[in-house]
Structure 1
């Protein structure tokens, strides 16, 4: 690990680290906000909220635009904000322009098709490496983890939370791609990363929140999801009603709120971020 920079922030510190990842076969960057409880001569191990960002983003978007540090500092909560995809000269992108997403489309899956399978393993990176590496450097409580995200990252948070209910105590999402197997963005990414044969498409189900619910992947707690009524991607790409119906059919508790007039931008994320931090703080038993 290498510390790239560090800034004082709400009596805590906003840091940026460079990590070497076995899963990604490349280096990657991650933003880390540490509240004051995690600093000083006798630092405490603090609970953690992992935030997964969306298409075209990197680790700095949420750090600079979400405005999450103030509330996290008040509650003694660390924020971990990784990059969205592997990057580097040896990492394949989309030179023909057929994918549209370039390097920023890891989609938080473990790719099965070449040439992406060597590097595009964001699911395993987040689950197996991210927190374990950071814990060697900063005092994080790896038994108190929550996960959230925006857009493609909201999809990632829902999928990781449903697949690993004992790892993540709480799950939420802002404007998530809720049913990627049935929307243009998801189908295009899954086709490249996972394949298009009938057998390969059947395996898409493990990376889709709606089909995971249909297949019995449930949590005992409530999923928190916020979307904006003026989001231009609401019906075609995000499909929140598909998620609502899947939760009703499966018995999964869900709080889905459609906020009048809000769009897909980080202005919306910043408007609801405190509510998400509070949701995770309650589950992680911080002072709220």
Structure 2
């Protein structure tokens, strides 16, 4: 699987590249950014999953992560949030279609043809990283909002791929919020029992996390306008408490849903992952 480098920049003595490759999972070209820290490698690697409306560029330009990543000796990969391009289904709403893949493999038309983001992230993207000096045996995953949902559920569903998982303001129980119910109905169909396999709180309630991760790290801003209706971290907290799953849930007074929040604590997340990788 060939990877084309579109741009490359030196940053914090490492190398940031914007890349494109063909994905068998989505049937489209896909883009991602990758920061490789200074040094020989192979380096441990973190996969960052972004939220609604984002591309591979939002985290790259806004999170301010690469100084901390260089210090920790960790590579960071940020893929796009959905397939895109001519012939790819879309919706006028910001929370469905292109830019809103929700990190599931769609089973319903017109989405099933291309919207296979779980298979992309856990398959084609990781395979593409073989061209870089990273150690996939030391791989963690983290994300924000829709991407926080993706990080939690992909880690719980395929723990053999990831040693550590954290999230900023994740959609903790998409089967119990408007964003998730709308997306799951479109992508996965009307059978709500099938939705439960893509809901972090429900997966933990069902025992999916048992013995897999010593701890999950979540940061949530208390001034986040989506906190009560869409994110619902208390449901994740209740599930972890009921099953004995380790969880650190930092409630950050005054912080909102923006990348200013992420930039304030991204260094702590990178150091937390580095200690586990």
TM-score, normalising length from structure 2? 0.96
User: Contact 1:229 / 1:261 at 8 angstroms: preserved in 2?
Assistant: yes
Partner Cα distance (1:44, 1:213) in 2: 34
1:78 aligns to 2:75 (yes or no): yes
Q: 1:25 aligns with which of 27, 34, 47?
A: 27
| Structure 2 partner of 1:117 | 112
What is the CA-CA distance between 1:101 and the residue it aligns to? 3.3
Contact 2:95 2:179 in 1 (8 A): no
Question: Secondary structure of 1:166's match?
Answer: helix
Partner of 1:131: 126
Deviations along 1:67-119, one digit per CA (max 9) or x if unpaired, are 0100000111000000000101111001xx36753411100001010110111
What are the within-5 Å matches in structure 2 for residues 120-269 of structure 1? 120-135=115-130, 137-196=131-190, 200-218=191-209, 219-269=212-262
Task: Report the aligned-residue RMSD.
Answer: 1.0
- For the 8 Å contact 2:52–2:95, the answer to whether it is kept is no
Distance 2:123 2:172 in 1: 24
**8 Å Cα contact 2:26/2:114 also seen in 1:** yes
CA distance in 2, matches of 1:164, 1:224: 18
Structure 2 counterpart of 1:48: 45
Q: Secondary structure at the match of 1:162?
A: helix
> 2:89·2:111 contact (CA, 8 Å) conserved in 1?
yes
Q: Does 1:60 align with 2:57?
A: yes
Cα distance in 2 for partners of 1:192, 1:105 equals 12
Aligned equivalents of 2:36, 2:271: Cα separation in 1: 17
Q: Given the alignment, which residue of 266, 270, 273 partners 1:277?
A: 270
Judge conservation of contact 2:95–2:183 (CA < 8 Å) in 1: no
Structure 1 gap ranges (5+): 38-42
Partner SS, residue 104 of structure 1: coil
Q: Number of residues paired by the alignment?
A: 273
TM-score normalised by the chain length of structure 1: 0.93
Contact residue 24 and residue 121 of structure 1 kept, 8 A: yes
**Given that residues 99 and 189 in structure 1 are in contact (C-alpha distance below 8 angstroms), is that contact kept between their aligned partners in structure 2?**
no
User: Alpha-carbon deviations, 1:104-136, whole Å to 9, x = none?
Assistant: 11000010101101111110111111121121x
